[in-house]
Structure 1
Amino acid sequence: MSIPAFSKPTGQPADVCLIVEGCYPHISGGVSTWLDWLMRACPTSNFAVRSIVTPGEARSAKYAFPDNLVDFSEIVLAGPESRGRRGIGTPAMAAHELAALAVAFLESGRLGALARLEQAVNDPNAGISLRDLVSGPYAWRLCLAAYQALMPHAPFKDFFWAWHALMGGLFSTMKAELPPARTYHAISTGYAGLLAARAALHGAGQVALTEHGIYTNERRIEILMADWIVDTVDKGLAMADRRRDLRDLWITAFESYARACYEACDHVTTLFAGNQPMQRLQGARESQLSIIANGIDLDRFGAVPTCPPGNPPTVSLIGRVVPIKDIKTFVSAAGIIRDRVPNARVIVAGSMDEDPDYAAECLALVEELGLSQTVEFAGKVDTATLLATTDVVVLTSLSEAQPLTILEAGAAGRPCVTTDVGACRDIIEGEAGREGGFIAELLAADQIAEHVVRLLLDEQLRTKLGENLRSRVWRDYASETSAEKYRALYASPDGTLQRAV
């Protein structure tokens, strides 16, 4: 397999520019796998990809580029340590004036406010470079002015680092170049959505957004749980205290980024109806909204054979070894499964290099529970091959949208036990009396284990639920059905290639 470098400029024009954040091509699974499928499912369209990454992030490509990916490059979010060329001379716009524009956008999320900020940042007569915006005297004055406007009650050093992290991302997207394309397609809000909104400001083509999970919800959870964000305001029981805390600043920023993206988009798609109430709440218009479910290769997974005679009872979790997948709960469930089904095999199949510390903790838990003869960490494997010797598929994630592994398992006739996240209940339960497995609460190792043991010990039930799930997946989640909808979305309104931003 040919693994690409992190730049592929071919000079060929793109029909579609995909804008992604923190995934393709250096994170395997999930959205990255979906992106790889999307490009291959639309072979008559040429694609460009702009992949937004954080500075200092160790990256290695996990996917070979399809032939119709004609332009790939990374956008590295800038920070206070960023290097680069400064503007010529002193920026013409006073720092406090630019700070006022940035604050107005952060507090409103309106596309017009973003337009005014973007125009100021990229005004050729203003002479403001990205380095000016994130480091040096001008950036210092910018930060001081924003501090006075947003959080004068907070310790300045804490505000400084939060401001630079947020503005490094914002200004990086304002300064990044976009290739010419008919359609600009962001795969989340956040910084990817900001870049798509900027394309809309320049009338550079139609703009689409596809959300698997709701980005602002995921960031909100991370921010509320983060121990690196200092609590700067003690509001006690004073509900009327409107002082902004650092967590409030982070959440407000990402909500504003989302509102601007929704306002800019011509199309807003998601995988299942459960995401749409939040999209509406954040400003998406009814006329924009549509659902395009995930699709899988039914023929490939439908060809997976039943488990061979003599195969030990086998339970597999297919997913990256990262906290959001809650592998520790699966390992804990494995201990209960082993006690009830002593010859059971429990497999974790997924990359272990994204969060090495968490992976080490999971391995240590296996040793602590005495499960080294039961639990196997197989790394990234071919899913169809693994399913051929798997009786039950488990998903213990804390957050998901519409997981491909559950659809793939269903297409192969394997019943599933999943947590109640994203579209999992819709996929598993379907119509009354046609369940394809069981749903468990989050963090409930005992429930996971109980459902798995029941399936392992009852072959008739296992076969029935597996066939129920197979029927539903084959009816509702065909790859070609999904691909047709994206090909229709990409059909250019006027058939002409628009200019670059």
Structure 2
Amino acid sequence: MKVGIVFEGTYPYVTGGVSSWGNTLIKSMKDVEFCIIHIGDVPKIRKPKYNFPDNVIDYFEYFLFAKYDFSSKSIITKQFGNKLREILKYPFDEKVMSENLYKLFQQYSNYDFTSLLKSETYWEVMLDFYKTYIPYENFTNYFWTLQSMLLPFLNSMTVDFPKCDIYHTITTGYAGISAIMNGIKNNTPVILTEHGIYHRERQLEVLKAGWIKDEYRLAWIKLFNTISSLVYKGSKKITTLFSKNQLFEKELCEDESKMYVIPNGIDFDKFSKLEYRKEKDPYIVGLVGRVVEIKDIKTAIKAAKMVKEKIKNFKLLIIGPTDEEPEYYKECLDMIKIFRLEDTIKFTGKVNVLDYYPKINVLLLSSVSEGQPLVILEAFAAGIPVVTTDVGACSEMIYGSDEDIIGEAGIVVKPKDFVGLAKGLIELYQNDEFRISASKLARIRVKKRYRLEQMIKNYKDLYLSVVK
């Protein structure tokens, strides 16, 4: 069995999160062959952060904004353009449009979709939209905005993947539409796994982006929603990490029969061998993660300042690579200097976390967005309580669910709430009984529900279910 696993902007060039999950999944399925398919933005030389496991037999990469020679493919016909025009109509209901687009793509799959931008139909539709919805906008800006919106999707729809028995896409969006179109062309089943919910994440980005004019925000959101709905429609199976995510998926997917929850898993035996540090002088807190904006290290630094005012022997270790967003790292260093925390906060850089978990009393997670963080599971297996922001599955992981055991293995606060994070860290320092009970409960929770062998079995069964 050969699985084409599709990553968008992550594995093998970015560490942590999805990349760590993907690398573990691949190397744990030694009897399955994998083709790694990576989607980048523009062609550039990069150094992989991972060595491919032995069962990776192929690698394929394409770029959203590259210019490709698709001359061997048929160009878009006027008949296709007319059918597309009938689908893209007010009130632009995403689920209705995606349903009709999927039917259209089943008829027209092996085409050069980028040729649409040179077609008479595209020009007519573009002018019609302009006159109807934003006639006051500068036309040149309107023209190039549409080009930048559509080209990466049209490239993604046109590019040919290596043939596989299954395409497993780790997001909707560009990766998802590529997987669906190649699934149609090659009569190959598609599995979708969502860590975060792509259309929700893009919506937040669009609403906050300073470079997007207000006139285009709704169009961007509708586009991402429609693509996500189309990927849901074309996928044989849809998995996510926790049940709350499914509520967002159901906004654009009505077929609940194809939806499953497969939690992350870790090597429990490896991490549970580590001894939990009960000694709290000094009181050492660890934040394990990349020093990037989405991890909101600045909020952790603010919390550290408050903790230091109450606990003089407090130390914070920020454990992870610092080279991904150099400017953000510098801003963090400047903030530490302003707060005079140079002797309190230490950046370790990229290290082996197994060497550091035994050194910390509590794990801190200050992220503004997560799926189901592996670092929490690793810390839990090592018996380390966690103070975290309420993002992704963090609340369910800390407090438990019907699938494992109810009880508090740490403290959860709202994102950006540095006061709450500080209070949580102080509470775990002062309340020895709570800290020790949370430590014991954390190990039990991971052992019961989040073991690597359970996760691998679930995905292996999923693969077999769509190729039989």
Q: TM-score, normalised by structure 2?
A: 0.90
| Amino acid corresponding to residue 215 of structure 1 in structure 2 | Y
Aligned equivalent of 2:155: 172
| Amino acid corresponding to residue 58 of structure 2 in structure 1 | D
CA distance in 2, matches of 1:133, 1:104: 15
Aligned equivalent of 1:7: none
CA distance in 1, matches of 2:164, 2:412: 43
Check 1:83–1:202 CA distance in 2 against 1; reply closer, same or farther (3 A cut): closer
Deviation larger for 342-351 or 440-449: 342-351
Which of residues 245, 248, 263 is equivalent to 1:293? 263
Question: Does the 8 Å contact 1:322/1:359 carry over to 2?
Answer: yes
How far apart are 1:294 and its partner, in Å?
Answer: 0.4
How far apart are 1:203 and its partner, in Å?
Answer: 5.2
Aligned equivalent of 1:3: none
How far apart are 1:149 and its partner, in Å?
Answer: 3.6
Which digits, 9 at most, give the CA deviation of each residue in 1:122-163, with x for residues without a partner? 44xxxx585x566xxx37x67643432434313323333332
2:399 pairs with 1:426: no
Deviation larger for 415-424 or 348-357: 348-357
Check 1:213–1:103 CA distance in 2 against 1; reply closer, same or farther (3 A cut): farther
Check 1:337–1:174 CA distance in 2 against 1; reply closer, same or farther (3 A cut): same
Aligned equivalent of 1:491: 464
Secondary structure of residue in 2 paired with 1:43 = coil
Check 1:42–1:473 CA distance in 2 against 1; reply closer, same or farther (3 A cut): same
- Unaligned 5+ segments in structure 2 are none
Check 1:206–1:275 CA distance in 2 against 1; reply closer, same or farther (3 A cut): same
Deviation larger for 209-218 or 346-355: 346-355
Check 1:58–1:223 CA distance in 2 against 1; reply closer, same or farther (3 A cut): farther
How far apart are 1:364 and its partner, in Å?
Answer: 1.3
Aligned equivalent of 2:211: 228
Question: Does the 8 Å contact 2:281/2:313 carry over to 1?
Answer: no
Check 1:89–1:149 CA distance in 2 against 1; reply closer, same or farther (3 A cut): same
Question: Does the 8 Å contact 2:238/2:259 carry over to 1?
Answer: yes
How far apart are 1:100 and its partner, in Å?
Answer: 6.8
Question: Does the 8 Å contact 1:416/1:438 carry over to 2?
Answer: yes
Check 1:122–1:181 CA distance in 2 against 1; reply closer, same or farther (3 A cut): closer
Which of residues 260, 273, 282 is equivalent to 2:252? 282
| Amino acid corresponding to residue 203 of structure 2 in structure 1 | R
Q: Give the number of aligned pairs.
A: 456
How far apart are 1:270 and its partner, in Å?
Answer: 0.6
CA distance in 1, matches of 2:278, 2:239: 41
Secondary structure of residue in 1 paired with 2:300 = helix
1:64-463 to 2 correspondences below 5 Å: 64-78=51-65, 82-85=66-69, 87=71, 93=77, 98=81, 101=84, 104=87, 107=92, 108=94, 109-114=97-102, 116=104, 122-123=110-111, 128=112, 130=114, 138=118, 144-152=123-131, 153=134, 154-202=137-185, 204-231=187-214, 245-307=215-277, 312-430=282-400, 434-463=407-436
How far apart are 1:306 and its partner, in Å?
Answer: 2.6
Question: Does the 8 Å contact 2:6/2:37 carry over to 1?
Answer: yes
Check 1:353–1:299 CA distance in 2 against 1; reply closer, same or farther (3 A cut): same
Question: Does the 8 Å contact 1:350/1:381 carry over to 2?
Answer: yes
How far apart are 1:277 and its partner, in Å?
Answer: 1.5
How far apart are 1:494 and its partner, in Å?
Answer: 5.3
How far apart are 1:272 and its partner, in Å?
Answer: 0.6
Check 1:164–1:248 CA distance in 2 against 1; reply closer, same or farther (3 A cut): same
Aligned equivalent of 1:55: 42
Which digits, 9 at most, give the CA deviation of each residue in 1:166-223, with x for residues without a partner? 2221111122111222211111110111012113323522211011110100000000
Question: Does the 8 Å contact 2:33/2:56 carry over to 1?
Answer: yes
Which of residues 27, 30, 36 is equivalent to 2:17? 30
Check 1:158–1:439 CA distance in 2 against 1; reply closer, same or farther (3 A cut): same
| Amino acid corresponding to residue 5 of structure 2 in structure 1 | L
Secondary structure of residue in 2 paired with 1:262 = helix
Secondary structure of residue in 2 paired with 1:377 = strand
How far apart are 1:258 and its partner, in Å?
Answer: 0.6
How far apart are 1:454 and its partner, in Å?
Answer: 1.9
CA distance in 2, matches of 1:219, 1:149: 27
Question: Does the 8 Å contact 1:15/1:47 carry over to 2?
Answer: yes
Secondary structure of residue in 2 paired with 1:18 = strand
| Amino acid corresponding to residue 170 of structure 2 in structure 1 | I
Aligned equivalent of 1:467: 440
Please, what is the CA RMSD of the aligned residues?
Answer: 2.7
Secondary structure of residue in 2 paired with 1:448 = helix
CA distance in 1, matches of 2:113, 2:216: 27
CA distance in 1, matches of 2:187, 2:334: 52
Which of residues 476, 479, 496 is equivalent to 2:449? 476
Which digits, 9 at most, give the CA deviation of each residue in 1:237-288, with x for residues without a partner? xxxxxxxx30111111110111110111110011111011111110241110
Secondary structure of residue in 1 paired with 2:356 = helix
CA distance in 2, matches of 1:365, 1:329: 10
Secondary structure of residue in 2 paired with 1:184 = strand
Secondary structure of residue in 1 paired with 2:260 = strand
Question: Does the 8 Å contact 1:207/1:265 carry over to 2?
Answer: yes
Which digits, 9 at most, give the CA deviation of each residue in 1:303-349, with x for residues without a partner? 11233868621111111222221111000001011111122111112
Task: Select the structure that is richer in helix.
Answer: 2
Q: TM-score, normalised by structure 1?
A: 0.84
CA distance in 1, matches of 2:163, 2:72: 28
CA distance in 1, matches of 2:247, 2:387: 26
Question: Percent sequence identity over matched residues?
Answer: 32
